[in-house]
Amino acid sequence: MTILCVRFQLPPTREAALPELLGLLEEFTPVVEALPPDGALADLRGAERYFGRDAVELASVLRVRALALYGVDCVIGAGPGPMLARMALRDARPGLTRAVPGGGERDFLAAKPVAALPGVGTATARTLCEYGLDTLGRVAAAPLSTLQRLVGAKAGRELHEKAQGVDRGRVVPNGVSRSLAADRPFDRDELDPDRHRRALLSAAGDLGARLRAVDKVCRTLTLTVRYADRSATTRSRTLSEPTAHSAALTRTAYDLYESLGLQRARVRSLALRAESLTSAEHASHQLTFDPVDEKVRRIEEVADRARAKFGPRAVIPGSLAA
């Protein structure tokens, strides 16, 4: 009962506040693992003894502080291991910490559907349900060899252990590896490639500006296209070098879009996500003899300053101005 799993109730626009919130956790323990975009795991083993309170009480302290300092509520689950803490989180509500007591793991798990177990994806869950193993209690009761036949040797063993409540996970401290997203919805089914490209240009420009504002670069760009029937296609691509340069992001976004070859698809929204963010200081940049590249980057710098002074729409690409 020493691991907390915290999810801050952050609106998407305030993603950037996560590092500060993690700072709150770090006041209790150094062992904090960020779960972007809005969560974290914290190991309170030392803290319990140091502060003389158990994890549930510490969770209350945390909640109060987050509300007082940042006006952000949070949902907290507590458990003996990271996996159980995460699962407890799903039962928790704002204002109420759900804790799994040590020794009560099996009871806690028994009635849960298999899909609730971290690491059990839709495919595995479907397989298990097909064979009537729809709750973790039934999975725990099934022979290990059968489980291994169902989902493979390693996955089967892990599943078996997890279903018994054996949680071998550890909280691994890490820095904030966040991602940024920009979503461009359409108010009706949009098929026009020009409008799509315009939306991508705007989203990529937005991402670039936000990245540069926090001095980050991204390594991977992901495009999610949502359709009228609520389905979606996702494609991601690793950039040739980590960058926050809007032009480079736009180019990649266009490439991703072209690779879909959409014609009659009824697009309802386009979302770009910049992932694997790293600090801009550590990013390398391939210099070229082409002076244009240099000029574009300088213009971007100037435009950023103009935006800082006159608002985000002070400088925008011509095709978006219309």
Whether the Cβ atoms of residue 150 and residue 128 lie closer than 8 Å to each other: yes
Burial (CB count within 10 angstroms: exposed 0-12, middle 13-18, buried 19+), residue 123? exposed
Whether the Cβ atoms of residue 171 and residue 42 lie closer than 8 Å to each other: yes
Task: State in angstroms the smallest separation of the CB of 126 from other proteins.
Answer: 10
Going by C-beta distance under 8 Å and a sequence separation of 6 or more, which residues neighbour residue 309? none
Task: State in angstroms the smallest separation of the CB of 151 from other proteins.
Answer: 11
Q: How far apart are CA 270 and CA 291, in angstroms?
A: 33
Strands ordered across the beta sheet of 232-243: 180-190, 267-279, 216-227, 232-243
Indicate the residue among 235 and 307 with the shorter CB distance to other proteins: 235
The residue ranges that bind other proteins (CB under 8 A) are 129-134, 138, 141-143, 145-146, 149-150, 188-192, 225, 227-231, 233, 258-266
Whether the Cβ atoms of residue 136 and residue 110 lie closer than 8 Å to each other: yes
SS3 143: coil
Task: State in angstroms the smallest separation of the CB of 236 from other proteins.
Answer: 14
Q: How far apart are CA 200 and CA 204, in angstroms?
A: 6
Task: State in angstroms the smallest separation of the CB of 80 from other proteins.
Answer: 28
Indicate the residue among 44 and 133 with the shorter CB distance to other proteins: 133
Task: State in angstroms the smallest separation of the CB of 40 from other proteins.
Answer: 34
Residue type, 91: D
CA 292 to chain centre: 36
Task: State in angstroms the smallest separation of the CB of 181 from other proteins.
Answer: 21
Task: State in angstroms the smallest separation of the CB of 110 from other proteins.
Answer: 14
Indicate the residue among 9 and 259 with the shorter CB distance to other proteins: 259
Closest to 22 in 3D by CA, of 11, 14, 32: 32
Going by C-beta distance under 8 Å and a sequence separation of 6 or more, which residues neighbour residue 316? 202, 205
